[in-house]
Structure 1
């Protein structure tokens, strides 16, 4: 019987270390956004809308990596806080384009600054070239895993 190769120590496994980094990043983002009463998902939604106004629920869900049902709950909460606005009736089709309100843009400015601070801390000690190489390397990993999806 042929012996299969196994992973080895998890500390040397790219996937394991990547998961550690993701958990550390999520924890730091949670802490940075907590004073603004935002979750990471809410922030990501606001950031996407700040960069691409008028996205639909489905487009936001894909961009934030949640289901459409979950995004609907997120948007409802942001609407109740007066941070986003959606028309009552779809201008065309069934899509309700979402826009930031003035309050939404103001909180996004604070949240974006807090997230940038977390990113800066995370990348301390990495030159701009190493940060670019990291982005490119992660992009390759994403494409490799998405090829079969």
Structure 2
């Protein structure tokens, strides 16, 4: 039975193509981050903390698209290895706000350059106008799915 017989033409499925692009991007990012001793989730956590110091485990997990448990394990390792620091006790509630250390910032700088090289490669076959159009289209799709069907 062909894909069309099954009712799904994967070549015409935008969702499938987006997932394929996401998978290819993640693979390429893992390849450039691995020599730096990082995973994509590790990099995402450091990047989030650089942009918004003091995020909690839950906030970092949401931002990196992982579970709280996965982020907690990662944060413990990052703290043990000197990339982040967290207070021994929560200043308010239960959240232990994390912050990058100087070592974490240096590591992030190298990782950001590596990830940027992947993004440049990904966009290399597109003109500036095509890149702008792709960004607009993707933002529009995200907004449409997040806003739901509210008549907009």
TM-score, normalised to structure 1, is 0.89
Aligned CA-pair RMSD: 1.7
Mapped partners of 1:130, 1:7: distance in 2: 31
Mapped partners of 1:83, 1:47: distance in 2: 12
Equivalence for 2:117? 117
- Unaligned runs of 5+ residues in structure 2 are 1-5
Equivalence for 1:88? 88
The alignment of Structure 1 onto Structure 2 pairs a total of residues equal to 144
> 1:8 Cα deviation (Å)?
4.5
- Unaligned runs of 5+ residues in structure 1 are 1-5
Secondary structure at the aligned position of 1:38 is classed as coil
Mapped partners of 2:136, 2:111: distance in 1: 26
1:56-71 aligned at under 5 Å gives the runs 56-71=56-71
> 1:52 Cα deviation (Å)?
1.0
Mapped partners of 1:130, 1:91: distance in 2: 47
TM-score, normalised to structure 2, is 0.88
Residue range with higher mean Cα deviation, 30-39 or 66-75: 66-75
Residue range with higher mean Cα deviation, 10-19 or 104-113: 10-19
Mapped partners of 2:143, 2:105: distance in 1: 33
Mapped partners of 1:79, 1:61: distance in 2: 16
Mapped partners of 2:48, 2:128: distance in 1: 24
Deviations 1:74-125 (Å, cap 9, x if unpaired)? 1011112110110001112211110001110000000000000000000002
1:1-149 aligned at under 5 Å gives the runs 8-148=8-148
> 1:148 Cα deviation (Å)?
4.1
Mapped partners of 1:131, 1:14: distance in 2: 18
Deviations 1:43-62 (Å, cap 9, x if unpaired)? 00000111111111111111
Q: Is the 8 A contact 1:82 1:103 kept in 2?
A: yes
